[in-house]
Amino acid sequence: MNHLASLYARPLALLTDLYQLTMAYGYWKAGITGKEAVFHLTFRDPPFGSGFTVACGLHTATELLADFRFTAQDLSYLGGLTGNDGRPLFEEGFLSYLDKLEFRCDLDAVPEGTVVFPHEPLLRVTGPLLQCQIVETALLNCVNFQSLVATKSARICLAAQGQPVLEFGLRRAQGIDGSVCASRAAYVGGCAATSNLLAGQMFQIPVRGTHAHSWVMCFDDEPAAFEAYARALPNNCVFLVDTYDTLQGVHHAVEAGRRLRREGHELVGIRLDSGDLATLSIQARRILDEAGFPGAAIMASNDLDEWIIADLKQQKAAITVWGVGTKLATAYDQPALGGVYKLSAIRSPGEPWTYRVKLSEQTGKISTPGVLQVRRFTRQGTPWLDILFDENRPPERRWICVDPLDATRQIETHDATGWEDLLVPVFRQGRLVYDRPPLARVRERTLNQLSRFHEGVKRFVTPYTFPVGLEKGLFETKTRLVRRARGLCQDDARCGNGRTQGGESESESGTGPRRP
């Protein structure tokens, strides 16, 4: 099932920024559409001050790319765009080119549910320059938001310490698509269920829900409301008890629970949505236990996030299920992941790669050249170190990791007991070669990944900074390119033999992605 098609019933090639099309048009006019390029999608800072990020959104990206094409309606719209002089922005010949365009790139990606860190490529796109360029915005759109929400969800679930977290954010999410993607990403991050029925149908996510205050207010009193709800849904009775008086509401829930039990059903639980949740939950637990309902759950809602849940846990709150809405679905307190998509190599077909580097006054914004891969080293199964390396130039023996911000900090991997490369093939020549796992398995991957990392990485306050660096040879290549681009050295023997400023030729014998 193509979930994007079920929502929009059309290909989404126009899900892009205008400047992607104007650049594509420029490539076409310059006659360089046949050049090949390598782009990487990365992010620079972990969200929420977190020690980790959860990769998410690949499935959505693959659906978009698998059906990537411009429709007649799209081309008609593009043909009507005009420049400052009122003349058409694009020539008919370019629109004809787009009409015949088929996605023919390679895509390598980190599987969803993988724990990742700043500056590591989540996606690598290799192929015709124009095509690599034109998919930039859509890929960022798919990955940025879902990775952000999946990370928020993982943090909230960590705070809940294994207790179920239910995602209730539909009504506060940013639009229809935002709500659907948020529900999906929240499940990937570890949530047990969602209230969003559309997302439940589309992605086979378990759905859960109770009732609103309006239900209680529609009846003459709270006991009558609970009794009516129990008659209607005897197998789904979680009563919202704080419409009038919370503890009195718990007693009314107990009365309804006794009637349910006489009829062969059981009270599932109660929900607290206001007030001092720690104190009220403890008092509610006592009432339920003394009445013979020790198995009844106490659900809490009311603008929860990881910090509030952690605080309630510290206060010994008797809450057993957490309903989290606004602050999860909106990734509250950080509106964007800040992912970027940068060119790292270019060549004419059959020629060596020429590496490219983008400079900045901010060291963290300087891009890394090459055809990049991430190798994760482990000790007795625990992730220990991530090294970015150039697939065309992997080290023959010694793996030395260099801190890109401090070349004097170097780590050798001689005591590693295992490793894995994080980027895996997803598309080859535009053909999907990746077996996309069911969403439940992606969620399991997130939980498994997090369980393997040191607790310090998952700490909310001053988390441990997981070491990520460049393989020594890649670091040296990057340094040469930066020095040359800044005019700090002109000697080829010292700066390397780059073909153009900011670029470096790759060996003919490179083992990175190959194009025919």
Model confidence pLDDT, tens digit, residues 309-365: 999 999 999 999 999 999 999 999 999 999 999 999 999 998 999 999 999 988 889
- Tell me which residue of 118, 47, 45 sits closest to 467, measured CA to CA: 118
* Residue 105: exposure state from Cβ atoms within 10 A (0-12, 13-18, ≥19): buried
Query: How many CB atoms sit inside 10 A of residue 76's CB?
Result: 10
Alpha-carbon distances of 151 from 32, 186, 281, 424, rounded to whole Å: 39, 8, 28, 21
Phi, psi of 134 (to 5 degrees): -70, -20
Interval 26-30 mean pLDDT? 98
Decide if 496 contacts 484 (C-beta within 8 A).
yes
Q: Is the pLDDT confidence value at 516 over 50?
A: no
Q: What is the pLDDT of residue 362?
A: 86
- Token readout for 43 is 């992010």
pLDDT for residue 505: 55
So what's the pLDDT on residue 8? 82
Report the C-alpha gap between 476 and 464 in whole angstroms: 27
List CB contacts of 291: < 8 A, sequence separation 6 or more.
Answer: 254, 257, 258
Residues 246 and 302 sit within 8 Å (Cβ to Cβ): no
Sequence-distant (≥ 6) Cβ neighbours of residue 334 within 8 angstroms:
47, 48, 148
Q: How far is CA 243 from CA 246, 248, 271, in A?
A: 7, 10, 11
- Torsional sign, CA 179, 180, 183, 185: negative
* Pair of tokens at residue 92: 């008919």
Residues forming a β-bridge with 38: 126, 345
Tabulate helix, strand, coil % of the chain (nearest 5).
Answer: 40, 20, 40
Side chain identity, residue 237 = C
Beta bridge partners of 126: 38, 106
Rounded CA Rg of the chain: 27
pLDDT(1) > 90? no
* Predicted confidence (pLDDT) at residue 198 exceeds the cutoff of 60: yes
Cβ count near 139 (within 10 Å): 26
Inter-axis angle of helices 136-160 and 439-452, to 10 degrees?
60
Indicate the SS3 state at residue 96. helix
Element (H, E) at 323: strand 321-324
Angle at 127 between CA 122 and CA 132, to 5 degrees: 60
Higher pLDDT, 260 or 497: 260
Alpha carbon distances (Å) from 261 to 231, 267, 284, 296: 12, 8, 19, 12
Helices and strands, counts by H and E, the chain: 18, 21
- pLDDT for position 490: 63
| 2 — pLDDT class (breaks 50, 70, 90) | confident
pLDDT digits (tens, 9 = 90+) for 74-107: 999 999 999 999 999 999 999 999 999 999 999 9
> Phi/psi zone of residue 48: left (φ > 0), alpha (ψ -120 to 50 degrees), beta?
left
Per-residue pLDDT, averaged over 124-150, amounts to 98
pLDDT, greater one: 497 or 133: 133
pLDDT digits (tens, 9 = 90+) for 346-358: 999 989 999 999 9
Query: What is the CB neighbour count within 10 angstroms for residue 291?
Result: 17
126 phi and psi angles, rounded to 5 deg: -130, 130
More confident residue, 54 or 397: 54
pLDDT above 70 coverage of the chain, percent: 95
* Measured distance CA(6)–CA(8) in Å, rounded: 6
Average pLDDT over the chain, rounded to an integer: 93
Note the pLDDT tens digit of each residue in 160-179: 999 999 999 999 999 999 99
- 3-class DSSP state for residue 343? strand
